[in-house]
Structure 1
Amino acid sequence: MRTATDSALVPFITRAAARLCPHLNAGPMVFLTTTFPLYGVHGTVYGLGVDGVKVVAQPDGPPPYGHQNMTTFLTSQMIRRLKSFTVVDLDELLKELAAHAA
């Protein structure tokens, strides 16, 4: 399984995202993992044209690290591969985290 990484690793941002994002349902789930190697990136490939820098391509899928276009790629999100994970309810996780922080 692949996932895009962002700032949702911070608990208060996770709560806000769960409440405000129209793509998340009322009971969002969290994938807990101890291994999540980098796979590739989402973004846009740029190149130099007669009039300066221009968009060359916007790949449908994430090209893996090491791809020939990485040197001219503007990344919007990193993609990680989840090898082994546990699915947990967001509210349960936040309660556990609060209990351990106290």
Structure 2
Amino acid sequence: MTGRRAGRVWLDRMVDSSLELSTREAFDGYVRDWTTADLVDRIAGNPVPVRVFVGEHDLLLTADAMRGTFLVHYPNAEVEQLPASGHYPMHETPVALAAALESFLHT
């Protein structure tokens, strides 16, 4: 999910950190909720401003995927693609992510 750009050491460290900081139960619950929860009735048409940040190199959760999901349900949503990032901008491009978040929050 980093666009095949991260080296083995970085990937191993990311996996090790994830395993150290979470429990199997928490991860299983997250995946189950993420794949089965149907929130459409609760969120459809919600006027809250939303900006969905996606990494330029994220091979799964792309800008097009977000346009077909989040933006369908939130009329005031927009997608911002973060250059040079994959799925983990908080680790891959933290300063750019912080600047993008600050920009959205100040609008």
| Class of the TM-score when normalised by the shorter of the 2 chains | under 0.3
Higher strand share: 1
- TM-score normalised by length of structure 1: 0.21
Please identify the structure whose Cα radius of gyration is greater.
1
Highest RCO, 1 vs 2 (Cα 8 Å, sep ≥ 6) = 1
